[in-house]
Chains A and B, each alone.
Chain A
Amino acid sequence: MDYFFTEEQEMIRDLCRQIAEERIKPVRAELDEKEEFPREIMKALAQADLFQIIIPEEYGGLGGGCLENCIAVEELSRACCGVSTSYAASFLGAYPMLLFGNEAQKEKYLPLIGSGEKLCAFALTESSSGSDAGSIQTEAKKDGDSYVLNGSKQWITNGGEAGVYTVIAITDRSKGARGATAFIVEADDPGFSIGKKEIKMGIRASATAELIFKDCRIPADRVLGKEGLGFVVAMRTFDKSRPGVGAQAVGVAQGALDEAAAFARVRKQFGKPIITFQAVAHMLADMAVDIEAGRALVYAAARYIDSGAKDFSKVSAIAKVFPTDMAMRVTTNAVQVLGGHGYMREYPVEKMMRDAKILQIYEGTNQIQRNVIGQELNKEYGRKK
């Protein structure tokens, strides 16, 4: 299938594919087994300018959009979702600055993030605040020229590895959801520390940790947008980032199909390669159909967003739900095609299946995505009356 990429987009795809083949594939099993953060690979991605993709040209970046990001993330995910999660999470942390940062903030942070000198992270989730983002407890109190943060964030991707964090905290509890504010926190700010590091089912190369704020004092100019915009910042960020999760799903599913098809051509039973059995061939065919549908959806959504569309919550949610549910099916079936081999750590597909699961969960569970889609449908059809 030809998706009519520009030369630049093809360059991004080819370079990411090369790095995935040469740098990521050979070590992914070890990274998974040791639950080790891929610092060397992050350095290579930085040297390749891949952290520059969505950074605007005036800050030294390449000025790419959602589609360019999706292309990179898909190719990296084809080799390892743990690596692609670490990569994509840096953009998740950077989007709030891109969307809501003032000139001084952009000038200070975007070049650091684009060069890969500092990884970035986004911190919203707390122990008692998951899908119900309105229930967050972390507080920020204004004190003269600074804010003082107290509380903790849970399951933060790139926690402990990032140099810069976007943190959502409550500044005015009385205002509910309108009382949250987004802040930029630097790793060496006083009172900021890393707590528990999580042990995960999949994407084990990525770092997931607790962030602890104990009288963490930061200058007042670290507010993104203005006080009270915290949830708007978070929602706009997710709207931008969700197709990227869809792209991860397309990548990991493609990686699983690559493995399953290659295995089925080599594995012989009853004297014939198992791909010649219709039961197996149809599974592979369904996987291919699923993946292409997911890919087309992700690219279309990304192009729609890049076109300057204003309201794309529904499109963005759709471009997350379908591909990630699809990736779970495809990776599960890939394990099935490999049979006993697939269940063993010796082969990469069981890892892909474990990795795929998180895609249905993070950046808003697929149930929450359906809520978003449902609400939008309600609005749309309400208007049509």
Chain B
Amino acid sequence: MKIAVCIKQVPDTANVKLDPETHTLKREGVESIVNPFDLFALEAALRIKEAAGGEIVAVTMGPPQAETVIKDAIGFGVDEGLLLSDRAFAGADTWATTAALAKAIEGLGDVDLVICGKQAVDGDTAQVGPGIAQRLGLPHVAFVKGFREIEDKRLVVERQMDDGYDVVELPLPALITVVREVGEPRPPSLKGKMRAKKYTVPMQGAADLGLEADQVGLAGSFTQVVKVFAPSHSGERRRLEGSEDEMGAQVIDALVDNQVIMLGS
């Protein structure tokens, strides 16, 4: 079975904090990591390979330094990697991102299964997986939490739902996105890390994928960020006063005002 795993390099958002004075992100010392949800995708791929045999290719899109996530993937035991990097890819929304990733996966040839993490922790969109499936004309199941059957031409998976889970049969080729429950990611292996050190990551740009500049990146995107602002946080500590009913209402109001609780508009 040939498996493509899509991974993304993200800032370690657990450590991204707002500067309380300037309300901007403090990124000094924030490391770039493999999107944590993509580690579950890698783990799922490795388990499927153990069960069914085959080959795993990790694909990422990002600046040249994103090759480190491919090397990390090799360290976990992935067979090959591919970095999509091109100045033209910059500023892509999910539409433009899936354009490039889908082309790259097509280019790998005879991929039986594409696996994505459920979402990236920097964007939290969860859109790239299903978008790639649509572009490739593959069926997909999102939020897979477990595997019941793994065969060459079909999978039976458990799909996490808000009120439980569904057991879904999926003919291959197909795409799945996976959640945490799929299995704890294994540690990297010493042999994998040694291989990663020597591994040269293949790189492709828009032209290699047969894409025009207006199909990718900012120019190929439908959406546009028009405003970015910090949720107004208050670092102060205070005691509320009043009756218990009043204090209960006050604290909710304060949390809503500070956008800790989202009420929408």
Chain A contact residues, CB within 8 Å of chain B = 7-8, 11-12, 15, 18-19, 22-23, 44, 47-50, 52-53, 62
Contact B190 A11 (CB under 8 A): yes
Most buried by A among B186, B187, B189, B191: B187
Instruction: Name the prevailing secondary structure of the A interface residues.
Output: helix
Q: Are B186 and A44 neighbours in the complex by a CB distance under 8 Å? A: yes
| Cβ-neighbour of A62 out of B186, B188, B190, B197 (below 8 A) | B190
- CB-nearest residue of chain A to B187: A48
Sample of 21 A–B contacts (CB below 8 Å): A7-B197, A8-B194, A11-B190, A11-B194, A12-B190, A15-B187, A15-B188, A15-B190, A15-B193, A22-B187, A23-B187, A44-B187, A47-B189, A48-B188, A48-B189, A49-B189, A49-B191, A49-B192, A53-B190, A62-B190, A62-B191
User: In the bound complex, how far is the Cα of B191 from the Cα of A50, in angstroms?
Assistant: 10
1/0 per residue B169-192: CB within 8 Å of A?
000000000000000001111111
Inter-chain CA distance A250–B192, complex, in Å, is 28
Q: Interface centre among A7, A19, A22, A47, by most B CB within 10 Å?
A: A47
- A residues within 8 A CB of B191? 49, 52, 62
Q: Which residues on A sit within 8 Å (CB–CB) of B193?
A: 11, 15
Q: Residues of B contacting A7 with CB < 8 Å?
A: 197
Complex interface residues of chain B between 97 and 144 (CB less than 8 A to chain A): none
**Chain B's nearest CB lies how many Å from the CB of A77?**
17
CB-CB nearest in chain B for A47 = B186
Kindly state the separation between the CA atoms of A62 and B191 in the bound complex, as whole angstroms: 8
Q: How many angstroms from the CA of A256 to the CA of B236 in the assembled complex?
A: 36
Residue of A nearest to B186 (CB): A47
Most A Cβ at <10 Å: residue of B186, B188, B190: B190
A48 x B186 contact (CB < 8 A): yes
User: CA A379 – CA B197 in complex, angstroms?
Assistant: 49
Q: How far is the CA of A26 from the CA of B190 in the complex (A)?
A: 23
* A37–B104 CA distance with the chains assembled, in angstroms: 45
Q: B190–A47 contact, CB under 8 A?
A: no
- Give chain B nearest CB distance to A201 CB in angstroms: 30
Residues from chain A with a CB closer than 8 A to the CB of B192 are: 49
Whether the Cβ atoms of A47 and B194 lie closer than 8 Å is no
Q: How far is the CA of A50 from the CA of B197 in the complex (A)?
A: 18
Q: From residue A96, how far is it (CB to closest CB) to chain B in Å?
A: 24
In the assembly, what is the distance between CA of A186 and CA of B191, in Å?
Answer: 28
* Closest A-B pairs by Cβ, 3 of them: A49-B190, A48-B187, A49-B189
**Shortest CB distance A111–B (Å):** 13
Residue of B nearest to A18 (CB): B187
Report the minimal beta-carbon distance from B186 to chain A, rounded to whole angstroms.
4
Closest chain A residue to B76, Cβ basis: A47
Cα A44 to Cα B183 in complex, Å, equals 12
A303 vs B106: C-alpha distance when bound (angstroms): 52
Q: Report yes or no: A52 in contact with B187, Cβ–Cβ below 8 A.
A: no
| Residue of A whose beta carbon sits closest to that of B46 | A47
Q: How far is the CA of A18 from the CA of B189 in the complex (A)?
A: 12
Q: A19 contacts B194, CB within 8 Å?
A: no
Q: How many whole Å from B37's CB to the nearest CB in chain A?
A: 16
Return chain B residues, CB-CB under 8 Å to A52.
190-191
User: Complex Cα distance A47/B76, Å?
Assistant: 9
Closest to B77 in A: A47
Q: With the chains together, A44 CA to B184 CA distance in Å?
A: 10
Tell me the bound Cα distance from A19 to B187 in angstroms: 7
Task: Write the chain B residue with the least CB distance to A62.
Answer: B190
Provide the bound-state CA to CA distance between A7 and B194, in Å. Answer: 10
Identity of the chain A residue whose Cβ is nearest the Cβ of B197 in the assembled complex: A7
- Identify the closest chain B residue to A64 (Cβ): B190
Hey, which chain B residues are within 8 Å of A49, CB to CB? Answer: 189-192
Alpha-carbon gap, A8 to B190, bound state (A): 9
Interface residues of B in 188-214 (CB under 8 A from A): 188-194, 197
B75 to A, closest residue via Cβ: A15
- Chain A's nearest CB lies how many Å from the CB of B58? 17
Instruction: List residues of chain A with CB within 8 A of the CB of B189.
Output: 47-49
Chain B residues within an 8 Å CB radius of A12: 190
Residues of B within 8 A of A8 (CB): 194
Residues of B within 8 A of A48 (CB): 186-190
Give A47 to B189 CA distance when docked, in angstroms. 6
Please, how many angstroms separate the alpha-carbon atoms of A18 and B194 in the complex? 16
Q: Which residue of B lies closest to A40 (CB)?
A: B184
- In the assembled complex, the Cα of A372 lies from the Cα of B197 at a distance in Å of 44
Q: How many angstroms between the C-alpha atoms of A52 and B190 in the bound complex? A: 9
Cα–Cα distance between A135 and B188 once the two chains are bound (Å): 45
Residues of A within 8 A of B188 (CB): 15, 48
Which of chain B's residues have a CB closer than 8 A to the CB of A47? 186-187, 189
Residues of B within 8 A of A19 (CB): 187
Contacts A11-B190, A15-B187 known; 20 new A-B pairs at CB < 8 A: A7-B197, A11-B193, A11-B194, A12-B190, A15-B188, A15-B193, A19-B187, A22-B187, A47-B186, A48-B187, A48-B188, A48-B189, A49-B191, A49-B192, A50-B190, A52-B190, A52-B191, A53-B190, A62-B190, A62-B191
Complex CA distance for A155 and B48, rounded to whole angstroms: 40
CA distance A49 to B189 in the complex (A): 5
Which residues of the partner chain B approach A22 to less than 8 Å between Cβ atoms?
Answer: 187
CA distance A226 to B187 in the complex (A): 40
Complex-state Cα separation, A262 to B210, whole angstroms: 56
Complexed CA–CA distance, A80 and B171 (Å): 45
What's the Cα separation between A223 and B190 when bound, in Å? 32
User: Smallest CB-CB separation from A8: which chain B residue?
Assistant: B194
CB neighbours (8 Å) of A50 from chain B are: 190
Docked CA distance A192–B186 (Å)? 34
Q: Which residues of A contact B190 (CB under 8 A)?
A: 11-12, 15, 48-50, 52-53, 62
Complex: how many Å from CA A48 to CA B194? 12
A153→B190 CA distance, assembly (Å): 35
Docked CA distance A47–B46 (Å): 11
Q: Could you tell me the distance in whole angstroms from the C-beta of A52 to the nearest C-beta in chain B?
A: 7
Contacting residues, chain A, for B197 (C-beta < 8 A): 7
